[in-house]
Amino acid sequence: MSETPPNLPSKPWFVYLVRAANGSLYCGVSDDPQRRFIKHQKGQGARYFKTSPAQALVYVEQWPDKAEALRQERLVKKLRKSAKEALVAAYGGCPAAPEVSPCDA
């Protein structure tokens, strides 16, 4: 039984975007995006950053559980770079509520 009992809230998960040194955006999920970003900066956790180091955590969006975050990650990864850049530009530094996600459009 790995499900969370109905009376206990599950821990939030986050979809995040990291800007690499070459200007590209990396999308991932984590229960602690700041800790994960620090790992990316050290070149750990994703081969993506071996060739172009992680520069900045530029977007974070909160979701109620891991399954929801993974669904959103798939949607974000399908976006064109211009749409991802729009997410970054609109990001105000606070995790967005899932109900107002720009990816739901």
- Per DSSP bridges, beta strands 54-63 and 13-20 are antiparallel
Domains of the chain in start order, with CATH, are: 13-100 (3.40.1440.10)
Looking at the predicted structure, is the pLDDT value of residue 104 above 80? no
Q: What are 14-71's pLDDT values in tens digits?
A: 999 999 999 999 999 999 999 999 999 998 888 899 889 999 999 999 999 999 999 9
CA nearest to 72, candidates 16, 32, 24, 26: 16
Euclidean distance between CA atoms 66 and 104, whole angstroms = 18
